[in-house]
Each structure stands twice: as C-alpha cells, then as structure tokens.
Structure 1
C-alpha cells in the first residue's frame, strides 16, 4: 500500500484535536444548538455567561485566571 499524504495529515489533525480536547477542555469553543429556529441569537449572552462561570470555577487554581473570566465591558 502506498503512502497517502492527505490521509496522514488528516490523522495528525484528528490526533492533535483529540489531545487538545483531553488536555484542556476549558479552552474549547462551545457549540451552540438553538431550540428556536426563528431566533437563533436568543439567550446567547446568558449561555456564554453560564459557560464562562463554569469554566472559571473549574479552573480556579489556574496560573492565568484572567484569560477565562468573563469581562463586563459591554462586549455584547
């Protein structure tokens, strides 16, 4: 069987993604699924705040907590 560079790159990317997910789940980007198809932006701020609060509690002993704590500077 001949070496396929595309398959090799795909395996490496998949492996890296799995390692990133296992090593630091607090830095993963959440996937939102809307229950209401007419207004997918509904409650996004609330959802993000809840996720950020959970991440802040989970990473309480982190060396750089300012990277994951929510800011209140009116971004939304």
Structure 2
C-alpha cells in the first residue's frame, strides 16, 4: 500500500442522542467534536438513532390496527350486488 493516502483508522465514540448510550468503534469518520471517556479523549459522532434505540431492533414497534383499516376499505368500496 502507498503511504499517506489512506485515512486514519482509529477508535471513535458514536453517541445515540435519543438514549445517551455510547459505542466505541474503530472508524475513519472525520469530526470536530471530542469526548473524554475513561481518561482518554476520542472523536465524537452524535447519532439520532442507533440499533440500541430503533424500534425495529428493540422490538418495541407500534402495532397498527390494519384489520380495522382493511374492514373500512372493504365496506366503503365493496361492490353492490
């Protein structure tokens, strides 16, 4: 590999803003924010949602009443005999 052309691959903190949880992952993302955890300073990336707070991954999805909607649709647009 050529020297000096690849971005720095370093530990970065990703913070889920909705629940305040931090993840330390190695990444090449560039950011100006910094955070100190356990006495070490890391670059910080703020996220709106992550797998820790997204309803699909947490299993806390809202159940939509599709039966009622389908019934209303069928009643409204059913063919009249």
Structure holding more strand per residue: 2
Give the alignment's TM-score, normalised by structure 2.
0.22
Structure holding more helix per residue: 1
Q: RCO higher in 1 or 2 (8 Å CA, sep ≥ 6)?
A: 2
Which has the higher Rg, Structure 1 or Structure 2?
Answer: 2
